[in-house]
Amino acid sequence: MICLKDIVKTYNKGKSNAYEALHGISLEIKDREMAAIMGTSGAGKSTLLHILACVDRYDSGEYTIDGQEMGKISEKQMAQERNEKIGMVMQDFALVEGFTALDNVMIPLDFAVRGHRRKRKKRRERVLKMLELVGMKEYADKQTKNLSGGQKQRVAIARAIANDPSIILADEPTGALDSATTREIMKVFHDLNEQGRTIIIVTHDPTVAEECGRVIQIEDGRILFEPPKTQAGE
């Protein structure tokens, strides 16, 4: 599904303070895989995530989703790919605090391409279904500013899957949560993965990474060797 080959990303290119954040990243993420990306601060995790999310462009290399080269499409096409195929979950939730949970989850549906836009009634039904999936249907009409951190993250996940994306990217989704709530949120991710979605989680937390099928280590803008997982007792 996802393939990166020799991706290079340089900030402030051509200036005296130019900085190469990614040095020829090559990586494959299989369909329905659940993977974690780990690395120290400044290792290039966020840069890599932004490229995977079609938020940032890269300077050289090749990035394909389902065989389509992301570097060769227009900004409009990239925005469409991002809205239809990719769901984003952020550490700070990125919710509109004055909106209800339902209104927050409705946002990506309101921005859907005209031909894919549902009628208001159908969109509401879709949103309520997504909130139910993450255990938040009863809070649909509650303003998100009055929700707990774990509840906000559930709403953020419901928003991320509103357009039924095949890929979910999560940037430190449990970083602001306690251990008990972290376990609850990881169960939501596992459930989504079992439903067929590809999940990629950027995290500093080794306990979160251990719950993923694969851990990808990145340091100084390069992917490190990934040792195979061993079974218990080996």
Share of the chain above pLDDT 90, in %: 79
Contact call for residues 79 and 108 (beta carbons, < 8 A)? no
CA distances (Å), origin 210, targets 74, 206, 217 = 37, 6, 12
Model pLDDT, residue 234? 45
Contact call for residues 96 and 104 (beta carbons, < 8 A)? yes
Model pLDDT, residue 118? 61
Model pLDDT, residue 18? 94
Per-residue pLDDT tens over the stretch 190-202 = 999 999 999 999 9
Phi, psi at 11, each rounded to 5°: -95, 150
- Rounded to whole angstroms, how far apart are CA atoms 44 and 20? 10
At 143 the three-state DSSP class reads strand
Q: Which residues contact 98 (CB under 8 A, 6 or more apart)?
A: 143, 145
- Rounded to whole angstroms, how far apart are CA atoms 197 and 1? 11
Domains and their CATH numbers in the chain:
34-42+49-58+74-223 (3.40.50.300)
Model pLDDT, residue 109? 86
At 219 the three-state DSSP class reads strand
- Rounded to whole angstroms, how far apart are CA atoms 181 and 66? 34
- Rounded to whole angstroms, how far apart are CA atoms 105 and 159? 4
Mean pLDDT, contiguous 10-residue spans, the chain (234 residues) = 95 93 96 95 92 94 94 89 91 94 92 59 92 96 96 96 95 93 95 96 94 95 69 44
155: which strand partners? none
At 69 the three-state DSSP class reads strand
